[in-house]
Chain A
Amino acid sequence: MTMDEFTARQLRDEIAAGRLKSVDVVQSLFARIDRVEPVVGAYLSLFKNEALAAAEEVDRKVARGGAVGLLAGVPVAIKDNMCTQVGATTCASKILANFHSPYDAHVVERLKAADAVIVGKTNMDEFAMGSSTENSGLKQTVNPWDAARVPGGSSGGSAAATAARLCYAALGSDTGGSIRQPAAFCGVVGLKPTYGRVSRYGLVAYGSSLDQIGPLTVDVADAALMLGVIAGHDPRDSTSVDERTAPVCDYLARLDEPPAGLRIAIVPEFNAAADIDTRNAIDEALEVYRRQGVELIEVSMPNFQYAVAVYYVIATAEASSNLARYDGVHYGHRSAEACDLVEVYSKSRAEGFGDEVKRRIMLGTFALSSGYYDAYYLRALKVRNLIRGDFMSAFEKADCIVMPVSPTTAFKIGEKTADPLQMYMADIYTIAANLSGVPGISIPCGFDTRGLPIGLQIMTPAFTEEKLLRIGRMFEKHTEWHKRKPEA
């Protein structure tokens, strides 16, 4: 077994047991990064020196026989919209290209406390707005399975880095599918936890009521491991749930134990929107469950179809406000051409933001404008509640809902950039989970005729990640898809 064949969990056990040195792992990983990263382009910044120092510290702890964390010595990558004191935190935007955060995000603190080794910051769609990472203002990332294709997005860098084994696990953020969709495109596991499960403190906000941090990993067990490290209440995030309401549990303890009497909800008409290879892969995945005695129940989710429309009102409205602070006054890019205050604002923002970000700021500003608020924002909130209702009634009949992650596999770079609406439809299956707050996971479930990965999406009720992971593991245990790797 070579080093890059280990899962994060296996690697951690090797390092903690002293059979492998974290420093050697990090050295070998950076050698691989030197070779592969120029092609993939997953990272916006790499912290080799800091990573080696952290690895040495872990090795010293192990040598001293002291206790080490759950991610001891494991190299992980962080999407560049999570604040780190080391390096820049750019959100792949020119407006923050030189921004250095004075503090670590909550999840970064948690990773460090678990003795993880931070490799670098990954590329993304600018401010997490996009489904292909083509909206990065700083770099192009390609799909490790086909360099002519997108890695998905917005956590495209984290997905590509995990798939190409340029890290052992990564953190992404998911506002409308930004963890699950790139995970599906790159053939890795992507978990979006329940809204409120993981603190957003230090995650640069896009759509505050939708954003959630989660892991991208090579298998379900690693997702369970990572979630255990980052989940839990944080007093700095008022929307993070307190431990009494929804305690964090050991997500690995009963991972291999299938939930008893499992019932899966499917929405047959939804699958029709997906391409034929995806439909077939989902049908085969359901067959895997059926063979294990799982009952499949057809449900109807009549309001699901409005999810994309609702999302592009709520997310953009919140974004228009969240991104107002990037104004050239306090930090970030300031236009050299500005001659007065209004120009500091308008020129700095015109130069600093990319087209998609501007498009969404304008959409959101419009939706919140007086005279339009009721027709757009307020109505969107009402439909959001109806979508929540769809989930609740589905969960009365079944333990989980299964559907594709994306209607297609990874598309070609440039294929959809000219048509934003078509790009928005790439998220039709993932957005509803964000609107209702429930957790969702993407698990590799096959490949299309071109050899591109396909993702299976499972969603469960709020704060039932433990069950969600076990349901995912039931599938993974009986398939080999997650073991395939793109050619180096």
Chain B
Amino acid sequence: MAEFDYKLVVGLEIHVHLAARTKMFCGCEMAYGEQANTRVCPVCIGMPGVLPVMNRTAYEYAVLTALALNCQVASFTKWDRKSYYYPDLPKNYQISQYDLPLGGPGYIEIPLESGRTKKVRITRAHLEEDAGKNIHTLGNFSAVDLNRAGAPLLEIVTEPDMNSPQEVGALARELQRIVRYLGVSEADMQKGHMRFEPNINLHITRDGQLHKTPISEVKNLNSFRAIERSVAFEAQRQLNDFRETGRTLKMGNKRTYGWDDVNQRTVLQREKEEAHDYRYFPEPDLVPVEMSADWLAEIRARLCELPLTMQSRFAVEYGLSDYDAGVLTADRATAELFDRAVKAGADAKRVCNLLTQTGLKIANEKGCTVGQLGVDAESLARLAAMADGGEISATAATAIFVEMIAAGGRPEDVAQRLNLIQKSDAGEIEAMVDEAIAANPEAVAEVTSGGKKSKKSLGFLMGQVMQKSKGQANPKVVADILNQKLGL
């Protein structure tokens, strides 16, 4: 029997790099993996006398994301300076949004393993500039790379609404899918485009009393696995700690941890949440942003159907399994390719199979998405229709699809070229059936006698006809004629 009940409580702070061409407050083009300090200008390295200029595209990307997260979008926002000293922060203040974030309360819907969904409340979403990167691998000194300094960063804060490591992971994956659908971020975890910082504690009920364990914040997680594992690890660690010490949440006993991926454990970074005084005040070098109704409408018009909505629509309307619907909605281009093909009249299940089996395999080999294979929805729909109508076999459909990906072309032309059009002409097939019957009296006898081997012999005769047609006869038509001739 459990000594007490407990509930895991997790909120997330998320940083998303927006895929604007240039940085948040200067004209430097963003790039990943360039030589250190080559993507910089006087503005983003904080030279004396420089001034920031707001990147309108980045602002629009942020608003678009806020809309997708069902946030209230502020009609008036401003910029604030957040002060702290760190070598990767050239001005020793970060331009951010303090009391007037561009996105107010909202929510994100995440898929659960049960097949149901859950709403996690969003507290706020605001824009800021990223810092650079300190490099400590050069021996007796440290260096600073400012290529990333000034990159547009969207910070999203959730309420502590998640109650399992899987839910935290699901939110992270869902958010990645959303920002990719919106085209506002590459959201490449390995490149640090998304960074997660879970705040974790336990609500323990013992003897009818509620005890909350001290909150742990795990910094800078950039893989889904690390997010889930660190939350699970912290939950267990806090449980053990509570058993041993009975320590509960108090003002100022929040701790900061890092994730040690090698040893799969959290590592204490700061014992006590230092009383940070960021001395926020309004950024005097930038003017406030006023979001007119027209501008907001223009941005809202760029919203697309969100992945989870699409996923459940595919399941409900097209009768796909949850799994298939999930695979097809992993990225927007694939989902839209599928959706358009079905809307063009193709059978959903057949298109789904083509895409999730053959398509996905080739895409994985090529390192792209199914949507990027270069096959358009109309061709895909016609290919499916050909298979449905018996013009080609299911096997041929796969072969044609592979060839369309490799060499392009209309499905009809590819089928011709590969000689995969099925023969359904009854007269022609009848002649071949007659030949087969005439040439194999033993098999015919076996079939008509209804003996032990009749089924096998019928298959043999089928095979003979197919061979004569070089595989191009419609098997259904062959079977019909054969059955008729043999009086079955």
Residues of A that sit less than 8 Å from B by CB: 81-83, 89, 91, 96, 99, 101-103, 105, 200-205, 208-209, 235-239, 317-318, 320-321, 324-325, 327, 329-331, 341, 345, 365, 368-370, 373, 377
Since A103-B47, A105-B49 are in contact, a sample of 11 more A-B pairs with Cβ atoms closer than 8 Å, ordered by chain A residue number, is: A101-B49, A236-B53, A239-B286, A317-B281, A324-B91, A325-B46, A325-B48, A325-B92, A329-B87, A331-B47, A368-B281
Most chain A beta carbons < 10 A, residue from B47, B53, B81: B47
B281 and A377 within 8 A (CB): yes
Residues of B within 8 A of A238 (CB): 51-54, 285-287
What are 11 A-B pairs with beta-carbon distances under 8 A? A102-B47, A208-B285, A236-B53, A238-B53, A238-B286, A239-B285, A325-B48, A325-B90, A327-B85, A368-B279, A370-B279
B48 and A91 within 8 A (CB): yes
B267 at the interface (CB under 8 A from A): no
Contacts A324-B91, A341-B87, A373-B281 given: A330-B51 contact, CB under 8 Å? Answer: no
In the complex, A236 Cα to B285 Cα: how many Å? 10
Contacts A325-B46, A369-B279 given: A236-B92 contact, CB under 8 Å? Answer: no
Min CB distance, B389 to chain A, in Å? 61
User: Which residue of A is nearest B82, CB measured?
Assistant: A321
Q: Enumerate the 7 nearest inter-chain pairs by beta-carbon distance, A residue then B residue, closest first.
A: A324-B92, A208-B284, A368-B279, A209-B284, A204-B48, A202-B49, A83-B49
In the complex, A205 Cα to B277 Cα: how many Å? 23
Most chain A beta carbons < 10 A, residue from B81, B144, B285, B286: B285
A345 and B49 within 8 A (CB): no
B45 at the interface (CB under 8 A from A): yes
Given A96, A101, A105, A365, which contacts B279 in the complex, CB threshold below 8 Å? A365
In the complex, A252 Cα to B478 Cα: how many Å? 99
B49 and A204 within 8 A (CB): yes
Contacts A238-B54, A321-B83, A321-B93 given: A201-B49 contact, CB under 8 Å? Answer: yes
Min CB distance, B393 to chain A, in Å? 64
Chain A contact residues, majority secondary structure: loop
Residues of A within 8 A of B53 (CB): 235-236, 238
Residues of B that sit less than 8 Å from A by CB: 42, 45-54, 81, 83, 85, 87, 90-93, 144, 277, 279-281, 284-287
Given A96, A318, A327, A365, which contacts B48 in the complex, CB threshold below 8 Å? A96
Given A81, A201, A321, A345, which contacts B50 in the complex, CB threshold below 8 Å? A201
User: Which residue of B is nearest A199, CB measured?
Assistant: B51
Given B42, B90, B281, which contacts A102 in the complex, CB threshold below 8 Å? B42
A101 and B47 within 8 A (CB): yes
User: Which residue of B is nearest A104, CB measured?
Assistant: B49
In the complex, A104 Cα to B285 Cα: how many Å? 19
A236 and B51 within 8 A (CB): yes
Residues of A within 8 A of B45 (CB): 330
B46 and A103 within 8 A (CB): no
Residues of A within 8 A of B42 (CB): 101-103
Min CB distance, A436 to chain B, in Å? 15
Most chain B beta carbons < 10 A, residue from A99, A103, A325: A325
User: Which residue of B is nearest A89, CB measured?
Assistant: B48
User: Which residue of A is nearest B287, CB measured?
Assistant: A238
Min CB distance, B59 to chain A, in Å? 13
Residues of B within 8 A of A83 (CB): 47-49
Residues of A within 8 A of B144 (CB): 329-330
User: Which residue of B is nearest A377, CB measured?
Assistant: B281
B49 and A239 within 8 A (CB): no
B48 and A324 within 8 A (CB): no
